[in-house]
Amino acid sequence: MTEPGAARVAVYLDFDNIVISRYDQVNGRNSFQRDKAKGLEAAKLARARVDVGAILDFASSFGTVVLTRAYADWSADVNAEYREQLVGRAVDLVQLFPAAAYGKNGADIRLAVDAVEDMFRLPDLTHVVIVAGDSDYIPLAQRCKRLGRYVVGIGVAGSSSRVLAAACDDFVVYDSLPGVPVFEPHAAEEPVKRTKRATSTEVEPPDPQTAATALLKRALQIGLEKDDVDWLHNSAVKAQMKRMDPSFSEKSLGFKSFSDFLRSRTDVVELDESSTTRMVKLR
C-alpha cells in the first residue's frame, strides 16, 4: 500500500505475549512458566522489563497514533506494574480474565476482532501495528493488508514467527528498537535442557549475517532482471529487501545505516558514493 501523507496509526499489544517472550529471552527458554509456579523473582522481572515507551515511540514514527490497546490480565502482578506507564501514554487497557484451558487464545481472538472492527469503524486508519510474535496473528495481518492497511509487526527475537514477519509489510525485532538496551545473556546462565525428541526435530536458524548477505544478492539480482541496469539506488535495494523479508533491519545486524551495511559487504557488491545519490551493483 502506498503510504499517504496523513498517516493514522492503530496499535494493538498482546501484552502477555511480549512480557512472557521477553522474560524467556532474558532468563532462559520456558523460564516464565517454571518460575511462575514457584514465584517470579523481582530481579529476574527487572532484567526482563519491557520498555513500553520504546514500542509506542516507534509506532508513532509511522504517523499519528489514534488508538492504542493493550490486552492482558491486569490483575496479575507481572502486568499490573505497567498499568501506570500505559495509562500515562493513553493506552486503553483491555482486561482478559485468567483463561481456562479451552480459552487459551482469548487474547488473540479479542485483539483480532477489535482490530477488524476498528478498520471498518475508522476507515481513515492507514497503519496497523501488531505488537506480538505469535503465529496466530498471521490471518489478522493478511486481512489488514487486504483491507488496504500498512501492517507493522513488533516481536521479541527468538519468539517471533518468521511467517508472521513475512505476512507484515514491516516487521521489527523489539531488541532493535531505539532506546532498548542490547540484551547480553549471563555467562553463568544454565544451558537449556532439551529432550531427545526436541533435539532431533529442531532446525537451527540461519546465521543472520549470512542470511542478510543472501537477501542482498537476491535483491540486486531482481533489480537487474527487472530494470535491466547494473547500478541501482541504495534506497531501491533496501526497499526490495524489505519487501522480500520485512524483518530485515541493518540496525539489528549492528550497522548504523544501510550504507554501512553495504560497505561491510564489498566482496559481494560494488559501491558508487561519488555523489549524494549512492548507487550499488552486484560484483
The answer, yes or no, to whether residue 145 has pLDDT greater than 70, is: yes
CB of 156 closer than 8 Å to CB of 163: no
Q: In this structure, which amino acid lies at residue 203?
A: V
CATH 3.30.420.610 intervals, the chain: 208-282
Give the per-residue pLDDT at 226.
Answer: 74
The three three-digit cell numbers of residue 142, written as one number: 493478511
Give the per-residue pLDDT at 154.
Answer: 95
Percentage of the residues of the chain whose pLDDT score is greater than 70 = 87
Predicted confidence band of residue 104 (pLDDT cuts 50, 70, 90): low
Predicted confidence band of residue 183 (pLDDT cuts 50, 70, 90): low
CATH annotation of 208-282:
3.30.420.610
Predicted confidence band of residue 189 (pLDDT cuts 50, 70, 90): very low
CATH superfamily of 8-185+192-196: 5'-nuclease (3.40.50.1010)
Give the per-residue pLDDT at 169.
Answer: 94
| Spatial CB neighbours of 68, under 8 Å, sequence gap ≥ 6 | 10, 11, 12, 13, 56, 59, 89, 90, 91, 92
| Nearest Cα to Cα of residue 234 among 196, 268, 270 | 270
Give the per-residue pLDDT at 100.
Answer: 53
Sequence-separated contacts (24+) of 78-86 with Cβ below 8 Å = 78/19, 78/40, 78/45, 79/15, 79/16, 79/19, 82/15, 82/19, 82/50, 82/52, 85/52, 85/53, 86/52
CATH 3.40.50.1010 intervals, the chain: 8-185+192-196
- Burial classification of residue 207, based on how many CB atoms lie within 10 Å of its CB (0-12 exposed, 13-18 middle, 19 or more buried): exposed
Q: What share of the chain is helix, strand, coil (3-state, %, to 5)?
A: 45, 15, 40
**pTM, to two decimals:** 0.77
The answer, yes or no, to whether residue 227 has pLDDT greater than 60, is: yes
